């Protein structure tokens, strides 16, 4: 693990924003290298007085293609980016998109530079290491948050995890309970929102899977495997991300309310 990422994680632990156990999990060599690769834009190149980190972890397993949802996932991800570009706060937003099989579509960058998903960069043919990659993505959010915090820049974050299957291929973190302490550490800071979208595969209880990972019930979506329902779920993600980006009050209200009563 490079010194810069390792120091960020250790600094967060020293400040008490994450536990020693979380810091230990995130400073394993290969996990740390994956975090480092996604940190992206230099803090000094971001001129905003506050920052919102919008982070996607997107399933690129073969079941997405097998279910005919490749285009639906691409369109949904891009819908969220397009909605955020219409906000007054667009210059405060940084985006990072990573797939479940470790492809970095966009390391953290200004929203205007975020890469949309298309047939040239999104190939759902891999496995489903859901827990392993959730640890990586959350570690990246923690490290990027710490970069800005050390420079006295307020940070709010929303992380969206999208999958259509239970974990099948994790090697380091094999249980949802291995992820939960990290999620809980992040929630305690009142800076982070973590959401899960489980597209129905007719066998996985996504509310239980995400719940066991520590994600709050109001931040779990379980749309049917249907283009209309998937789009509806992404619209809800878009609306929530937009509200979160507005101000600290909007973030606090969204954090408590989640996706709301209309969530599929």
Residue 187 makes CB contacts below 8 A (sequence gap 6+) with 194, 214, 216
| Residue 262 pLDDT exceeds 60 | no
Structure tokens at 69: 């949802």
Residue 188 makes CB contacts below 8 A (sequence gap 6+) with none
Confidence of residue 261 (pLDDT cuts 50, 70, 90): very low
Of 32-36, 55-59, 98-102, 220-224, which gets the smallest average pLDDT? 32-36
Measured distance CA(105)–CA(80) in Å, rounded: 15
Taking a C-beta distance cutoff of 8 angstroms, is the pair 193, 255 a contact? yes
Query: What pLDDT does residue 246 have?
Result: 86
What mean pLDDT comes out for the span 59-80? 97
- pLDDT tens, position by position, 1-42: 445 888 999 999 999 999 999 999 898 868 888 999 999 999
Measured distance CA(61)–CA(231) in Å, rounded: 19
- pLDDT tens, position by position, 121-173: 999 999 999 999 999 999 999 999 999 999 999 999 999 999 999 999 999 99
3-state secondary structure of 122: coil
How many CB atoms within 10 Å of residue 238?
18
How many CB atoms within 10 Å of residue 19?
16
What mean pLDDT comes out for the span 88-105? 96
Domains in the chain, ordered, with CATH?
3-257 (3.40.50.410)
Read off the DSSP letter of residue 112: G
- Average pLDDT of every residue of the chain: 93
3-state secondary structure of 59: coil
- Determine phi and psi for 96, rounding to 5 degrees: -135, 130
Largest CA distance in the chain: 47
Residue 49 makes CB contacts below 8 A (sequence gap 6+) with 153, 154
| pTM reported for the whole predicted model | 0.95
Taking a C-beta distance cutoff of 8 angstroms, is the pair 122, 170 a contact? no
Q: Say which residue the tokens 């706060």 belong to.
A: 89
Which whole-number Å values give the CA distances from 91 to 48, 67, 81, 111, 260, in the listed order? 7, 36, 13, 7, 27
Q: Say which residue the tokens 């997107």 belong to.
A: 58
Q: What percent of the chain has pLDDT over 70?
A: 97
| Residue 216 pLDDT exceeds 70 | yes
Measured distance CA(193)–CA(159) in Å, rounded: 6
Query: What pLDDT does residue 3 have?
Result: 52
Query: What pLDDT does residue 263 have?
Result: 47
Query: What pLDDT does residue 157 have?
Result: 96
């Amino acid at each position: 693990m490079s010194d810069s990422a390792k120091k960020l994680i250790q600094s967060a632990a020293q400040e008490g924003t994450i536990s020693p156990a979380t810091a230990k999990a995130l400073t394993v060599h290969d996990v740390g290298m994956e975090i480092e690769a996604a940190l992206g834009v230099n803090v000094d190149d971001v001129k905003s007085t506050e920052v919102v980190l919008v982070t996607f972890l997107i399933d690129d397993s073969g079941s997405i293609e097998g279910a005919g949802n490749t285009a639906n996932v691409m369109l949904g991800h891009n819908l969220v980016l397009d909605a955020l570009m219409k906000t007054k706060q667009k210059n405060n937003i940084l985006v990072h998109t990573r797939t479940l099989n470790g492809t970095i579509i966009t390391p953290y960058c200004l929203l205007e530079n975020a890469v949309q998903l298309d047939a040239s960069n999104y190939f759902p043919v891999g496995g489903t290491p859901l827990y392993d990659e959730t640890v990586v993505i959350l570690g990246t959010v923690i490290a990027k948050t710490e970069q800005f915090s050390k420079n006295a820049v307020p940070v709010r974050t929303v992380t969206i995890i999208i999958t259509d299957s239970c974990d099948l291929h994790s090697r380091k973190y094999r249980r949802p309970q291995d992820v939960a302490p990290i999620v809980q550490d992040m929630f305690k800071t009142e800076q982070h929102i973590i959401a899960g979208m489980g597209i129905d595969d007719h066998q996985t209880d996504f509310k239980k899977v995400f719940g066991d990972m520590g994600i709050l019930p109001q931040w779990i979506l379980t749309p049917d495997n249907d283009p209309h329902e998937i789009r509806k779920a992404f619209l809800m993600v878009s609306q929530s991300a937009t509200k979160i980006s507005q101000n600290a009050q909007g973030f606090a209200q969204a954090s408590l309310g989640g996706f709301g009563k209309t969530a599929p």
